[in-house]
């Protein structure tokens, strides 16, 4: 089945501004009369998501591979709803998706291919947008340090992993810019992808 709406996800280090930008994009699209929803991974509302949340808040401990598989399971449990939404013409703007899994879990030393394996068969998006922020700038922003991974040394490794994962299909936006300038660039990227979707694009799976 061909889709006439794009869907995309935003990736980046903690505090790069993804969440605010995702919200702004969704209201923009709705203002244009388009059906759009903001999704976010991890989705902390499910029972798997609650285990992830308590791990991130340091109130529980889990083996590195176990937590990775929970992050994957959290994507899998939303897969069929995701497909339904997309087929019904809703654009999904997703705050993190599978690249976070590889970037963060392999920062603990897990093998890249091992990390990618459980994500095979998840829906592949039309577009990955990477909000690029320097480590120092991210650390200066409010609230940093609250959760398990929000530490400079760890984020440095995550940043290196994103560089390895990065390919030519990603759009990179400089997230050190003023919030309105980031927003403007994201709108342009989304409009471009709406145009290229008008003839219908097949829905595909990872990792193809």
Binding mask 8-37 for Na ion (x = CB under 5 A): ------x----x------------------
Contact between 106 and ligand DGP per CB under 6 A:
no
Closer residue to Na ion (CB): 19 or 34: 19
Q: Can you spell out the DSSP letters for 59-72? A: SS---HHHHHHHHH
β-pair type (204-205, 127-132):
unpaired
Contact between 104 and ligand DGP per CB under 6 A:
yes
CB of 153 to Na ion, least distance (A): 16
Contact between 53 and Na ion per CB under 5 A:
no
CB of 85 to ligand DGP, least distance (A): 20
Residue 96 contact partner, candidates ligand DGP, Na ion, none, CB within 5 to 8 A by sort of partner: ligand DGP
Residue 101 contact partner, candidates ligand DGP, Na ion, none, CB within 5 to 8 A by sort of partner: ligand DGP
Closer residue to Na ion (CB): 14 or 126: 14
Stretch that binds ligand DGP, among 78-86, 100-108, 123-131, 135-143 (CB under 6 A): 100-108
β-pair type (204-205, 123-124):
antiparallel
Q: Residue numbers of the site for ligand DGP (CB under 6 A)?
A: 14, 42, 56, 67-68, 71, 96, 100-101, 104-105, 147, 149
């Amino acid at each position: 089945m061909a889709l006439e709406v794009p869907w995309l996800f935003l990736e980046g280090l903690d505090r790069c501004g993804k969440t605010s930008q995702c919200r702004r994009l969704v209201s923009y699209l709705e203002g244009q009369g388009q059906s759009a929803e903001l999704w976010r991974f991890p989705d902390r509302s499910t029972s798997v998501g609650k285990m992830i949340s308590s791990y991130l808040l340091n109130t529980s401990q889990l083996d590195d591979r176990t937590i990775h598989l929970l992050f994957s399971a959290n994507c899998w449990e939303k897969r069929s709803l995701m497909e339904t939404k997309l087929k019904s013409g809703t654009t999904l703007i997703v705050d993190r998706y599978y690249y976070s899994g590889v970037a963060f879990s392999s920062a603990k030393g897990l093998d890249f291919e091992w990390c990618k394996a459980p994500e095979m068969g998840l829906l592949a998006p039309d577009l990955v947008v990477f909000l690029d922020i320097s480590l120092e700038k991210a650390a200066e922003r409010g609230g940093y340090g609250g959760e398990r991974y929000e530490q400079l040394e760890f984020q440095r490794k995550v940043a290196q992993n994103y560089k390895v994962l990065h390919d030519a299909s990603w759009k990179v936006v400089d997230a050190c810019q003023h919030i309105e300038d980031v927003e403007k660039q994201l709108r342009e990227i989304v409009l471009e992808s709406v145009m290229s979707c008008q003839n219908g694009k097949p829905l595909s799976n990872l990792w193809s």
